[in-house]
Amino acid sequence: MSILYKKIAPLIFYTIIIYMKKHIHKNIGTVDRIIRSIIAIILFVSIGFVDQLSLQWVFFIFSIVLLFTVTTSWCGLYTLFKINTR
């Protein structure tokens, strides 16, 4: 198990990062990033106020996806529909 964390996981992570730098082009503008950040924070905070576990997971996963798109300035759906707000 420790071999996975020490050797293989960083290699997989590095490979994904290299792929993203070569093939993924930024398509999210500044205003879009700000709106996504605010929505992600609201969803993440609202996890504590929701009683249903399944809805908490939905909020958590959706907020992580939004934060990923904010940090990378790339949205897969924007790429699919050829939208660019940059």
pLDDT value of position 25: 83
> What is the per-residue pLDDT for 4?
59
pLDDT tens track of the chain, all 86 residues? 466 566 777 777 778 778 777 777 889 999 999 999 999 999 999 998 988 989 999 999 999 999 989 988 888 899 889 989 98
- What is the C-alpha to C-alpha distance for residues 69 and 37, in angstroms, rounded to an integer? 9
Domain residue limits, the chain:
26-80
Q: Which residue has the tokens 């940090």?
A: 71
* Phi, psi at 73, each rounded to 5°: 55, 30
Check if the beta carbon of residue 84 is closer than 8 Å to that of residue 78.
Answer: yes
Which pLDDT belongs to residue 57? 92
Map tokens 């290299």 to a residue.
18
pLDDT of 30 reads: 93
pTM tops 0.75, yes or no? no
Residues in the chain: 86
